Structure 1
Amino acid sequence: MSYLTLDEYQRKWIFTHQSMPVPEQDLEAIKPMTQARASQLWKENISAQSPDAERLSSSDWPMKESNWQQSVDWMAAWEADEDALPPEVAEFIDWQDDVTVYFCYEKYNVIETKWSVFKKHWKNFLFYDDGPILIGRRRKEALWFDTQGTVKLGFRN
């Protein structure tokens, strides 16, 4: 099996927290990967050597400044009452709602969902903001969030 149930996921609370609960139909589309599957996806799409964003090597695509177009503030939008993504992010990622996305916290912690679900509940995903990278299946655009409240918009190669 490639996925854990949400009940088995150690960070389940970020999607069921009383201040921002995710509706049941959207919870069904949030699929934490098993460690083995997460590790495989991380190695193939983020880094073959490094276990997390803090230890990426200079040869990993996220560390190449030329892959990033701009950085924008996500924290202000996260703290705002509206649920919308920062406008620059919404403009940069022009994907159909059914595109499969991978929210990569680190090598053994990756969540698969649909772009529509991520857009709606992105604040939940960012309860943990220790360098997660969002990529889409068969898409070049990427987002790299940091703990200082900025997100890099760019392209993976």
Structure 2
Amino acid sequence: MSYLPLEEYQRKWIFTHQSMPVPEQDWIAIKPMDQLRSAQLWKENISAQSPDADRLSSSDWPMKESNWSDSVDWMTAWESDDESLPESVLEHIDWQDDVTVYFCYEKYNVIETKWVTFKKHWKNFLFYDDGPILIARRRNEALWFDSKGKVKLGHRD
């Protein structure tokens, strides 16, 4: 098996937190990958050497400034009552709802979901905001969130 049931996911609390629980019917769309699959996706799409965003090397695509076009605030929207992603993020990511996305916390912690699910529950994903990178299958656009409340808008090369 390459996915963990959400009940067994080490950070399940980010989806069951009493302040903003994800409805149980949406849990099926949130698929934490097991460590082996996470590591493979990270190695192929983020970094072959570095285990997390803090230790990316200068040769890894996220560290190349030319891959990032803008940096916008996400924390203000996260703290507001508005449920939607910041408008500038939605303008940058013009994907169909059924696009498969990967929210990459670090080498051994990647969650697969659909763009529609991420948009709906993005605040839950960002309860843990230690440099996660959002990428999608067969798409070049990328988002890189930081714990200071900014998200870089860019493209993978």
What's the TM-score, normalizing by structure 2? Answer: 0.99
Cα offset, 1:23, TM superposition: 1.2
Q: Match of 1:46?
A: 46
2:24 and 2:112 map into 1 onto residues whose CA distance is 16
User: Secondary structure of 2:118's match?
Assistant: helix
Q: Match of 2:73?
A: 73
Q: Deviations over 1:6-56 (max 9, x none)?
A: 111010010011110111221110000000000000000000000000000
Cα offset, 1:2, TM superposition: 0.7
Q: Match of 2:3?
A: 3
Moved beyond 6 Å, runs of 4+: none
1:24 and 1:137 map into 2 onto residues whose CA distance is 25
Q: Deviations over 1:87-117 (max 9, x none)?
A: 1001110000000000000000000000000
* CA-based RMSD: 0.4
User: Secondary structure of 1:28's match?
Assistant: helix
For structure 1, the residue ranges without an aligned partner over 5 or more in a row are: none
1:127 lines up with 2:152 in the alignment: no
Between stretches 143-152 and 22-31, larger displacement belongs to 22-31
Cα offset, 1:123, TM superposition: 0.3
Cα offset, 1:61, TM superposition: 0.1
Q: Match of 2:13?
A: 13
User: Secondary structure of 1:119's match?
Assistant: helix
User: Secondary structure of 2:29's match?
Assistant: coil
For structure 2, the residue ranges without an aligned partner over 5 or more in a row are: none
1:24 and 1:139 map into 2 onto residues whose CA distance is 29
Q: Match of 2:138?
A: 138
1:27 and 1:13 map into 2 onto residues whose CA distance is 12
1:101 and 1:23 map into 2 onto residues whose CA distance is 20
1:140 and 1:3 map into 2 onto residues whose CA distance is 24
